Amino acid sequence: MERLTSFLAVTEFSWFDALDILIVAFIIYQLLLFIRGTHAVQMALGALVLVLLYWMSRWADLQTVNWMLRNFLPYIVFGVIVVFQAEIRKVLAHIGKAPLLGMFSGSHKTEELVDEVVLAVTTLAAQKTGAILVLEREMGLRSYIETGITLDAVLTYDLLVNIFTPGTPLHDGAVIIQGQRVAAVACFLPLTVNPALSRTLGSRHRAAIGVTEDTDALAVVVSEETGVISLVAEGRIRRDLDSRTLKQALLSALDVDVEEDDSAGLQVPEP
């Protein structure tokens, strides 16, 4: 503490230093956002353990361990480049898309996204076509995306209706939505094991409840048997929604300002 105090006392802190710290913090934050919900998290933790072990070996004078880690750690960088070459390309492409522009139109884009989802869902419900859509929020869904077929397409009404049309190769499974895009289709989701759920709920509803129990995602389900629209969040389901109440509930869950309505609350299904 004395060394830190003396260092701060003689160090002149300028605006450039503050900018330097903010840039580094932003880079670290974006890196954490990139690897969340993926297997890279475990690899990052493993690399952190090796780095900590390296410094402990220096502090405790463990010469053999220090020599091994000193010669091994540089190759981790090359391993990361080889393993994550596709993801690195995506990150570099994303950086070149003027990320700051989205800050000024996020709410408007979210409402447009909800409109497309509601229109597609009500159309599928009228046709009694089964469907399940999962909307990512704060927690990453990359592990579920990897179980399906990567699409990375702009979300539109026509695309969603076409995906769930019976007989098409991609209609079976869940659609996962990241931001304004359809990230993947035909994805597998974990089924809930809640014994209190009604037996009338099929595999789509149980999968929707399961993924929302494990993450903070939202799931919209259309029953193939009845055409009933349901919204699931935090493991709780609300059924028999129409286009108005579905839109209102989605906008409210996505933190977009809407008029308050007591009917938009989620309810636990009765056994």
Instruction: Encode pLDDT of 171-187 as tens digits.
Output: 888 999 998 899 999 99
Distance CA 213, CA 236 (A): 8
Amino acid at 197: L
CATH (domain of 167)? 3.40.1700.10
Sign of CA dihedral 154, 158, 161, 163: negative
> Is 117 inside any structural domain?
yes
Query: Is 123 within a domain?
Result: yes
Return d(Cα 73, Cα 19) in angstroms, integer: 30
- Give the pLDDT score at 177: 93
Q: Is residue 228 part of a domain?
A: yes
What CA–CA distances, in Å, run from 124 to 34, 114, 117, 164, 188? 33, 15, 11, 8, 20
How many domains, the chain? 2
Q: Is the pLDDT of residue 22 over 80?
A: yes
Does residue 269 lie in a domain region?
A: no
Q: String of b and e for 239-270 (b: at least 16 CB within 10 Å)?
A: bebeeebbbbbbbbbbebebeeeeebebeebe
Residue 154 and residue 55 share a domain? no
- pLDDT score at 3: 65
Of 76, 101, 126, the residue that ends a domain is: 101
Say if residues 232 and 219 touch (Cβ distance below 8 Å).
yes
Report the C-alpha gap between 80 and 46 in whole angstroms: 12
**Are 248 and 170 within one domain?**
yes
Sheet holding 229-233, edge to edge: 149-154, 181-187, 174-178, 131-135, 218-222, 229-233, 236-238
* pLDDT on residue 107: 63
Q: Identify the pLDDT of residue 163.
A: 93
| b/e code 16-28 from CB counts within 10 Å (16+ = b) | eeeeeeeeeeeee
Instruction: Reply yes or no on whether the pLDDT at 256 is more than 80.
Output: no
Q: Are strands 236-238 and 229-233 parallel, antiparallel or unpaired?
A: antiparallel
Is the same domain home to 15 and 149? no
Structural domain ending residue among the three candidates 75, 101, 127: 101
Tokens of 29: 């934050």
**Gap between the Cα atoms of 199 and 242, Å rounded:** 23
Residue 270 located in a structural domain: no
Last residue of a domain, one of 85, 101, 117: 101
pTM, two decimal places:
0.61
List the beta strands (DSSP E) in 164-243.
Answer: 174-178, 181-187, 218-222, 229-233, 236-238
Which range has the top average pLDDT, 16-30, 199-213, 253-267? 199-213
| The pLDDT of residue 142 is above 70 | yes
- 234 and 114 inside one domain: yes
Q: Do 97 and 221 share a domain, yes or no?
A: no
Give Cβ neighbours of residue 165 (< 8 Å, ≥ 6 apart).
129, 171
Q: Are residues 90 and 55 in the same domain?
A: yes
Q: Please give the backbone phi and psi of residue 121, each rounded to the nearest 5 degrees, phi first.
A: -65, -45
Q: Are residues 47 and 119 both part of a single domain?
A: no
Q: Report DSSP state, residue 47.
A: H
The answer on 154 and 111 residing in a single domain is: yes
Q: Which residue has the higher pLDDT, 268 or 38?
A: 38
Shared-domain flag, residues 260 and 144: yes
* Three-class DSSP category at 269: coil
> In this model, does residue 83 exceed pLDDT 90?
no
Query: What pLDDT was estimated at residue 262?
Result: 41
Which residue range is the domain that position 46 belongs to? 2-101
Q: Is 15 in the same domain as 120?
A: no
